Amino acid sequence: MAKVQQPDPTPGEIAQQLVELVVGEAGNLDELGKRIVANRLLEVLGGWSDFEKKKPGPTGVYRLPPPMTDVQAKAFDRERVDFGKYMGRRWETAPLSYVRYLCDASRALWLKLYAYLHSDYALLEERTAHEEDEDDEDGEDTYA
């Protein structure tokens, strides 16, 4: 009996299989272990990203920064928090769960803000505001 040859998987199918493998293998790890696996994957796969071929955006970076050295991390621990629940206290007093929360919340907000600022709606708002500013320079009172 002739064996039917299966077609080669698509890149999307390969990616899905890899994700399933990683999730399955990392599923039993604690939070730190999962973060180590995720960071290592980002490090390895980061070179494949289109981001490296593009000019930096408004933040000046696309990729995650490398982990701090011990010296940098200790210096950061001594810095003062300038907002939120631990304002005025050193970072070393804030639990890591709180720092992770800030990181995740900030990332989600940054992505939303970035997407908003690059939307047609926001660009139109910016043009409209710019035109209103030019009208104000002409001495017209637009708020009367």
Which residue has tokens 């009367």? 144
Q: What is the pLDDT of residues 37-48, one digit of tens each?
A: 777 777 777 666
Q: Is 107 exposed, middle or buried (0-12, 13-18, 19+ CB in 10 A)?
A: exposed
Percent residues over pLDDT 70 in the chain: 75
* Predicted local distance difference test score (pLDDT) of residue 68: 86
DSSP characters for 2-70? Answer: PPPPPPPPPHHHHHHHHHHHHHHHHTTS-HHHHHHHHHHHHHHHGGG-GGGGSPP-TTS--SPPPPPPH
Structure-token pair, residue 39: 């960071």
* Predicted local distance difference test score (pLDDT) of residue 118: 78
Q: What is the pLDDT of residues 17-37, one digit of tens each?
A: 888 888 888 878 887 777 777
> pTM surpassing 0.75?
no
* Predicted local distance difference test score (pLDDT) of residue 48: 63
